[in-house]
Structures are given as structure tokens and as C-alpha cells.
Amino acid sequence: MAILFRSGPASTARWRAPLTEALPDHEVRFWPETGEPADIDYALVWHPEPGLLASLPSLKLIFSLGAGIDHVLRDPTWPRQVPLVRLVDPYMTEAMSEYIALSVLRLHRQDLDYRAQQLAGVWEERAQKNAAERPVGILGFGALGQVAAQRLRAIGFEVAGWSRSPKQVPDFATYSGKDGLDALLRRSEIVVCLLPLTPQTTGILNAAAFARMPRGAAIVNAGRGGHLVEADLIPALDSGQLAGAVLDVFQEEPLPADHPFWRHSRIVVTPHVAAETHPETAVNIIRDAISCCEAGRTIPNRVDLARGY
């Protein structure tokens, strides 16, 4: 009975000790030292190479080493009969809410303008308003979106959330479906994307969406690069329809050195770090899910393949 861990070298180094300490009764193998594939019951993966999961004939569970699972689904050969579990870790959720609060405040308080003014040595006051006067809309009102909303509300923002299914969430306006998206975009001066990447959400941040937002609105994308139609962003910024964008995720990561987003004055780029997985807390979630699996109990946060997330 063995566990296979497959991620990049830096992540493997961070996980090695916490994982082996949390699961002393299991043999943990770190890719590429896979050993006999038939021994492997559990796979813990981040961007596994196509074919890896299909080559493990005894798998009982696949864990995504993050909240998103698009990196597993993009492999057409992944074994769909094996339950796929994603990480929902309060530590990560807090980290994401910090990132969203920071990003929304940067946009709200015109940090991009004041930064540019500082570099140019310009002392000039800009019109100011309070958070309560800047409506924020969150696309994706799930585990991450709702906690980020609470943090923004605590600062004073009027926050609304958009989800696939209709929901009632105390203190927040909620929207769902196509009409709901239209209404949320029209009311929101800052739109935050915390959606999973699915065929329905791919390209949702596009020229048509920007045109429906109030002039001078801004976006924060911490979902996936595939949510943004990258070619639509710079024209929307240059025309003034959008005033700024904070982007953590990109179509191609790392963002290529010659990509125009790096040097655009109204775009903030961060290297997919909004909410890193935290091995010290995530190992406990993985250990508990393995116990559930071995005891025949329901495994939390199993991905619903019909929904695609």
C-alpha cells in the first residue's frame, strides 16, 4: 500500500517531511521514484503529466494538491472511475481572502495611479470615496468566494456573489444564471473571479462582460487564466472602460517574459500565489480523507464530475 506524490521540485521539498510524518503507516513515494505502479492506492497530484494516473491500476483516490482540479481533467486519460478529491483548507481560504482584500483595496484606493505618480514625482490628489460606495461582485460564491466576501464586507464594501445554483447567503445580494451575471456585472465597480475553470466559465471575463460593467470598473482574477480572454483586456484598459486589473493566474504560466501584461501600467501581476497550498495543514485533510476511504465512509470534497468542479 503506497502513496504517490507528484508535483514540482520546490513543492516536493516542502511536502516531504509533513507528509511522511502525517502518514507513518503508509509508504510515500515521491515522483519520479514511482516504484511498482500496482502498489499505489492514493495519488496526490498537481499538474500530473498526461497518462500518469492511468498507469496506476490500483488507485482508490486521487487528491488534487489544490482547490482547483482542471489540471487533472485536462488529461483525457485520467481514470474517471476513481474518486477525485480537492483541497478545501481553511488556511488557504484565509490566504485567498487576504489576497482579495489587498487587491480590491489597491483598486479602490487608486494605488495604481498613486504608484505611477510617485515614479513620475507627481503630487496630486484624486477624488476619493469610501468602500461602501464601491460595489464589489464576486464570480464564484463557493468556499473561497464567500469567505473573501465576508472579509470585504468587514472593510465596508457592498458585496454580491454569483453562483451556478441560486442561494441565500445572509448579508449578501446573490445572483445566479445568465440574467444574474448581467445584473452582477452592471452593479459592480470591482469584479473578482473565484470560479473553477469549466467549459461554462472559460472566457467569462471578456470584452462583452467589461462593456456591461460601469465605466472605470476593475477586475481581479484569482480563478484561472482561462477565465480571462487576454486579448480583450488591454483594449478595455486603454479605452478607459476598465481602470485596472489585478491578475494572479494566466493562460500560460509562468507568464512569458515578453507578455504585454508585465509592463502595462494598469495591470498588477502576481505569480499564481493568491492562496498557496499549505502542506502543514493540508496533510491532515489528506490523512482524514484516506481514513474515510479505508473505513468506507463518505469522503469530503469529492469532485462532482457532472458539474465539472
Q: Which amino acid is at 305?
A: L
Comparing CB distances to ligand GLV, the nearer of 7 and 163 is 7
- Cα 306 vs. chain centroid, distance in angstroms? 20
- Binding residues for ligand NAP, rule: CB under 6 A, are 66-68, 88, 96, 140-145, 162-165, 194-198, 200-201, 222-224, 248-249, 272, 274-275, 309
* SS3 per residue for 37-78: HHHEEEEEECCCCCCCHHHCCCCCEEEECCCCCHHHHCCCCC
| Shortest Cβ 105–ligand GLV spacing (Å) | 22
Cα separation of 90 and 101, whole Å? 16
| Shortest Cβ 19–ligand GLV spacing (Å) | 17
| Shortest Cβ 126–ligand NAP spacing (Å) | 29
Q: Which amino acid is at 21?
A: E
The catalytically annotated residue of 134, 224, 227, 266 is 224
Site string for ligand GLV, 94-133 (x = CB under 6 A): ----------------------------------------
Comparing CB distances to ligand NAP, the nearer of 221 and 243 is 221
| Contact present, 285 and 89 (Cβ < 8 Å) | yes
Q: What is the DSSP letter of 214?
A: P
| Shortest Cβ 5–ligand NAP spacing (Å) | 19
Residue facing ligand NAP at closest CB distance? 142
Could you confirm whether 215 is annotated as catalytic?
A: no
Stretch that binds ligand GLV, among 7-15, 60-68, 228-236, 257-265 (CB under 6 A): 60-68
The catalytically annotated residue of 272, 278, 287, 302 is 272
| Shortest Cβ 289–ligand GLV spacing (Å) | 16
First to last CA, the chain: 28
Stretch that binds ligand GLV, among 19-27, 66-74, 117-125, 286-294 (CB under 6 A): 66-74
Q: Does 68 bind ligand GLV (CB under 6 A)?
A: yes
Exposure b/e, 261-270, CB count within 10 A at least 16 = b: beebebbbee
Q: Which positions ≥6 away from 133 have C-beta within 8 Å?
A: none
Q: Taking CA 87 as the corner, what is the angle to CA 6 and CA 221, rounded to the nearest 5 degrees?
A: 100
Can you tell me which of 66, 140, 161, 244 binds ligand GLV, judged by CB under 6 A? 66
Can you tell me which of 22, 43, 67, 285 binds ligand GLV, judged by CB under 6 A? 67
Q: Would you state the cell numbers that stand for residue 266, as one nine-digit string?
A: 494598469
Could you confirm whether 272 is annotated as catalytic?
A: yes
- Cα 83 vs. chain centroid, distance in angstroms? 21
Q: Which amino acid is at 214?
A: P
Residues that bind ligand GLV (CB under 6 A): 66-68, 277
Catalytic residue numbers read 224, 272
